[in-house]
Chains A and B, each alone.
Chain A
């Protein structure tokens, strides 16, 4: 190959690669808005990767699944750890001078998701854009059916939680469709606007075809055998 690595070659080499996607765009992010757009694309792709593995991670813990997402983001070049930002935040992403935090919750019931929302919006110090708006994310892992309905229920519960609904607004999410939305309200500690990206990773796995059922039973038996006394 030529000693030069051209932009065309980078595009060719990185085509379809889960790690290399968007590497130049990410490197050239010049402001918080650009960073956020690229990060949200990256998280969306990371979520796709995790969903593709859902049949292997049926029983995985909240931290285990979050670890997968963190590793994906690390591979894409972010600094991404379980670190403290006013408490034990689940995901803290850093890129150059930009910072973003996310709280991850297993969606078992709405109250638990709300607890995560409160942690995100009152306990941690989120990253802010130049206008002073803070940004964060609430990532839920759902291992039950009908994710669309569950997200609609969560959105309604969140709306109802505000004493004055005029102090919050909601927006659809293009990346996750009905499994995502944005909320905006005043950050509890900062008093500045706080925009939260709510997304649901639908990890429900319950195949009903014969082959799927047999595979599931085989995996369950194998998992049972591998448990040491």
Chain B
């Protein structure tokens, strides 16, 4: 378990007090007030950041760091677009096959569109304290 202040300190220790820390603060305050949130992506963080509009790179850095071992507030998850172009959760083994060999988890066949269909999102682990 980790609290808001120490999480933000960790972000600042690595990235300084720039875009990443600001993005982390917007997101973490949102998660504290919306504990049922299950799906976090770049779009959500940019929306929460309002006029500050951090870069995609800064937001991805932030999400990746918050999902890292030293903070662990988020967990990186994978989805794959099915035949109806709807995302469906896939497990780590399926994601690994997609990344390493371009295998579509639903057909078991090579999928040339793997890069477009494999999706990444972040899920709160429930370890964030006020």
- Which residues of the partner chain B approach A28 to less than 8 Å between Cβ atoms? 92, 95-96, 99
Most central of B87, B119, B121 by chain A CB within 10 Å: B119
A17 touches B (CB below 8 Å): yes
A193 touches B (CB below 8 Å): no
- Which residues of the partner chain B approach A74 to less than 8 Å between Cβ atoms? 10, 13-14, 68, 70
B67 touches A (CB below 8 Å): yes
The tally of residues in A whose CB lies under 8 Å from a CB in B reads 33
- Which residues of the partner chain A approach B117 to less than 8 Å between Cβ atoms? 6
**Contact A13/B57 with A7-B99, A28-B95 known, Cβ cut-off 8 Å:** yes
Q: Identify the closest chain A residue to B117 (Cβ).
A: A6
Give the distance in Å from the alpha carbon of A2 to the alpha carbon of B116 in the complex.
11
B5 touches A (CB below 8 Å): no
Interface residues of B in 28-82 (CB under 8 A from A): 41-43, 56-57, 60-61, 64-65, 67-70, 76
Tell me whether B115 and A8 are in contact (CB under 8 A): yes
Tell me whether A25 and B99 are in contact (CB under 8 A): yes
Tell me whether B120 and A7 are in contact (CB under 8 A): yes
Interface residues of A: mostly helix, strand, loop or mixed? mixed
B15 touches A (CB below 8 Å): yes
Name the contact of A80 in the complex, choosing from B60, B70, B87 (C-beta under 8 A): B70
- Report, as a range, how many residues of chain B touch the other chain: 20 to 34
Most central of A8, A17, A24, A30 by chain B CB within 10 Å: A24
Interface residues of A in 3-50 (CB under 8 A from B): 3-11, 13-14, 17, 19-20, 23-25, 27-28, 30
B118 touches A (CB below 8 Å): yes
A133 touches B (CB below 8 Å): no
Q: Identify the closest chain B residue to A4 (Cβ).
A: B119
- Which residues of B does A touch, CB under 8 Å? 10, 13-15, 41-43, 56-57, 60-61, 64-65, 67-70, 76, 87, 92-93, 95-96, 98-99, 114-121
Query: 20 new A-B pairs (CB below 8 Å) besides A9-B56, A19-B61?
Result: A2-B43, A4-B119, A5-B60, A6-B119, A7-B98, A7-B99, A7-B118, A7-B119, A13-B60, A14-B57, A24-B76, A28-B92, A28-B96, A75-B15, A75-B65, A77-B65, A78-B70, A79-B70, A94-B69, A95-B69
